[in-house]
């Protein structure tokens, strides 16, 4: 599987639940967090500054999901990435 043009194929990284004041904050209770973390699986041929295996943060409303060989990935545009770890 190879991304083309300005698209990225990413695999979302699920964060561990955090504990704040004895309360466990799960993914569902952390709705204020607009950005999600993911590992880059493939980059398009005109993407600059992002490479395979980078960890990126992207807008949670961006892109769409895709099923490929029993794995679920997201396809987003380069402009949806807000930072690289």
CA dist., res. 81 & res. 32, Å (int): 18
Return the CATH number at 23. Answer: 2.30.33.40
Evaluate whether residue 30 is within a structural domain. Answer: yes
User: Range of 66's domain?
Assistant: 7-84
Residue 55 binned pLDDT confidence (cut-offs 50, 70, 90): very high
Please tell me the predicted confidence (pLDDT) of residue 20. Answer: 74
Evaluate whether residue 2 is within a structural domain. Answer: no
Mean pLDDT of 47-69: 94
CA dist., res. 54 & res. 10, Å (int): 10
Residue 68 binned pLDDT confidence (cut-offs 50, 70, 90): very high
Domain total of the chain = 1
Phi, psi of 79 (to 5 degrees): -70, -10
Is the predicted pLDDT of residue 14 greater than 70, yes or no? Answer: yes
């Amino acid at each position: 599987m190879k991304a083309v043009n300005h698209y990225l194929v990413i695999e979302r990284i699920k964060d561990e639940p955090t504990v704040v004041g004895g309360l466990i904050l799960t993914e569902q209770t952390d709705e204020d967090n607009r950005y999600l973390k993911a590992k880059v699986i493939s980059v398009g041929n005109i993407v600059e500054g992002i490479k395979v295996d980078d960890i990126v943060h992207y807008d949670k409303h961006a892109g769409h999901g895709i099923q490929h060989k029993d794995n679920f990935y997201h396809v987003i545009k380069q402009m949806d990435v807000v930072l690289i770890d």
